[in-house]
Amino acid sequence: MGELGELLRKTREAKGLSLAQVEEATKIRSVYLQALEEEDDDCLPPPVYVKGFLRNYARYLDLDPQQVLSLYQESEATTPATPAQVMLDEPLEPLTLRRWWPAWVVLLVIAVVVAVWWGYQRYYGTVPVAQATATPTPTCVPPSPTREPPPATPSPTLTASPTPTPTTAIALEVSIELVGQQAWLLVHVDGEMVFTGTLEPGATRTWRADERIVLHCGNAGAVRVTVNGQTLGLMGEPGQVIEKEWTAPGVPTRTPEPTPSPTITP
């Protein structure tokens, strides 16, 4: 381990940090952090990425990034270079392959080629005049005139009128929020029970209905009510058992059937 790796490891251990903690903070994989501390170049990416790792690691350990990078460059400069390949004193191919043909063989080959070419030109290169065949001149037939089709009459474009999108309005919306204490609730929406149970402080619920919402509460002082965006405040006093009904505009309010209160066993 060199000076760079020793500096990184001792500084990290002095701060009581593990490689996993450094990885979570710097987003550098622990295998790369360990390779930096051990100066294991085989486990590291190319130097351009290593310099970025060292810069972030140094900042996290409160070290001078320039000092850390200078130590890395010194260690990189002292890395032994790859030995050059050894040149062979003798070629690998047989010596006979490098020998030149004798000069007389080359001259003989050239003479034979010239003789063959001259004989071909002498006896086969000239065509007698009597045997020459005139090449017929092609007769060009003018193309028949093409009748242009009459211009198409554009069809009138009909612009469709946009269909208005119907807007669905919410007739009735009731929201509750538990304040300070827990409370038991029983909720009916349009005549159907949709919720029963105990809610803890801070819990919120929202119900929507077409006509009416009936809410039976076991601790009215802990339930804050908002109807159609308007806050109505608490339903009642702490510990008070109460039942309230809200209706949509135009829907008459009816007297709900009494709901039995839950029996609380001490």
> Domain residues for 226?
172-247
**What percentage of residues in the chain have a pLDDT greater than 70?**
67
Lowest mean pLDDT among 84-88, 164-168, 240-244: 84-88
Encode pLDDT of 15-52 as tens digits: 999 999 999 999 999 999 999 999 888 899 999 999 99
Contacts 24+ apart (CB under 8 A), 256-263: 256/188, 256/214, 259/186, 259/216, 261/218, 262/184, 262/218
Last residue of one domain, picked from the residues 61, 77, 93: 77
Q: Is residue 156 part of a domain?
A: no
Neighbouring residues of 14: CB distance < 8 A, sequence distance ≥ 6? none
| Residue 167 is assigned to a structural domain of this protein | no
| Domain-located, residue 234 | yes
Q: Would you say residue 64 lies in a domain?
A: yes
Q: Which of 77, 92, 122 is the last residue of a domain?
A: 77
- Asked if residue 115 is part of any domain, the answer here is no
What is the spatial distance between Cα 161 and Cα 41, in angstroms, rounded to a whole number?
Answer: 71
Q: Is the pLDDT of residue 218 over 50?
A: yes
Which residue has 């554009």 as its token pair? 154
Q: Are 184 and 202 in contact (CB under 8 A)?
A: no
Question: Does residue 152 lie in a domain region?
Answer: no
Q: Is residue 162 part of a domain?
A: no
pTM, two decimals, is 0.35
- 187, 213 Cβ separation under 8 angstroms: yes
User: How many structural domains is the chain composed of?
Assistant: 2
Choose the weakest-confidence range: 5-19, 71-85, 252-266: 252-266
**Final residue belonging to a domain, choices 48, 77, 106:** 77
The CATH number for 7's domain is: 1.10.260.40
